[in-house]
Amino acid sequence: MLALGKLLELTLAGREPCEKVQLTPRGVKLHWLADGALLVSPPSGQDQGVDLLLSAGIHGNELIPIHVLDRLIRALARGEVQPRARLLLLFANPAAMRRMVRQVEHDLNRLFLGKHADVWGSEAIRAAELEALVSGFFSLPGRQRLHYDLHSAMRPSRLAQFAICPWSEGTQVAPLALTRLQGLAVEGVLLQRQASSTFSAMTATLHGAEAFTVELAEGKDESLPAAVLQFEHGLISMVEGRESSTASNAPPQLLQISREVIKRSPRFRLCVPADIENFALLPLGSLLAEDDGMRWVVDEPGARILFPMPEVAEGQRAALIVVPLDEFEPKQ
């Protein structure tokens, strides 16, 4: 296997490869651009006009997405996958990955669209570098632009795999985008209703990419869950320019954020079991959280909980209340 196929090993070791450009026997070009960044170009005459950005490791302790991207890179280097799209493959937060922690100083996935200028540290530097790498990758005119930022929710979920669509003024999720997600075994799509500074929001806002944050399924042992293997199969089909089969996958359920639960003091308490699943139903009228005299009572029919994290810092989001799109009535 070509040395650049071991991008994860190079990244974890903090090493530059001796050869920054390599060709597979079938003419696929691998080009090391920076720490954790690999550009893959199909052979001449096989490019179908798609620029696909795949990123993992924004949070360094989310191992399943890192493993999935590593498997794809190795398969490309061995010639087992023949791409018909340009690919930018990113291990996004090497500093956190080397420590196997979510973040070093700051949440990298909140530092895009210029937010990195407001803080210091390795994540701020990396956010600026990633913005520059992506800008270069998406600079070619007249091409379809796709971005899947791969994450792991780190807890069981009623929807095994789901995607988050960043808010962008005047845009909606296209039916073809949902079909692509269905082919990736994504069971739900959460539509954001306000601007954010995530990686996928940056690529959607600045580059017009069809961009999603994708939360892959959690596993109970060292083997990859069946849903993740389905995701890999669909992803390889996409990379090779083939249509993914959707026959065995239901269309993704559409959901919308109703409210954010923000931790405001050390007295914050989330009134749900510590092991509650993502998208677990919340009983109408139940107390979800309380904090220094403030109470969050569930008054949305069909409400589900998402990303419950009571240990976050003050001022950060401790949970989301989400509802199916057909039941959505935004709360103030």
**Are the beta carbons of 234 and 184 closer than 8 angstroms?**
yes
**215 part of the active site:** yes
Q: Of these residues, 215, 218, 277, 300, which one is catalytic?
A: 215
H or E segment to which residue 135 belongs? helix 122-137
- 151 labelled binding-site residue: yes
Alpha-carbon gap, residue 254 to 13, rounded angstroms: 41
Token readout for 270 is 């989330």
**Are the beta carbons of 63 and 151 closer than 8 angstroms?**
no
Residue with tokens 């589900």: 304
**Are the beta carbons of 267 and 292 closer than 8 angstroms?**
yes
- 233 labelled binding-site residue: no
- 62 labelled binding-site residue: yes
Q: Which amino acid is at 5?
A: G
H or E segment to which residue 165 belongs? strand 162-165
Annotate 73-97 with DSSP letters as a single string: HHHHHTTSS--SSEEEEEE--HHHH
Report the sign of the C-alpha dihedral through residues 161, 224, 50, 139, in that order.
Answer: positive
Residue with tokens 């089909």: 237
**Are the beta carbons of 177 and 144 closer than 8 angstroms?**
no
Radius of gyration of the chain (CA): 20
**Are the beta carbons of 181 and 215 closer than 8 angstroms?**
no
Query: Burial of 161 by CB count in 10 Å (0-12 exposed, 13-18 middle, 19+ buried)?
Result: buried
Other residues' Cβ atoms within 10 Å of the Cβ of residue 240:
15
DSSP single-letter state for residue 230: H
Please report, in range form, the residues annotated as the binding site for Zn(2+).
59, 62, 151
| Active-site annotation, residues | 215
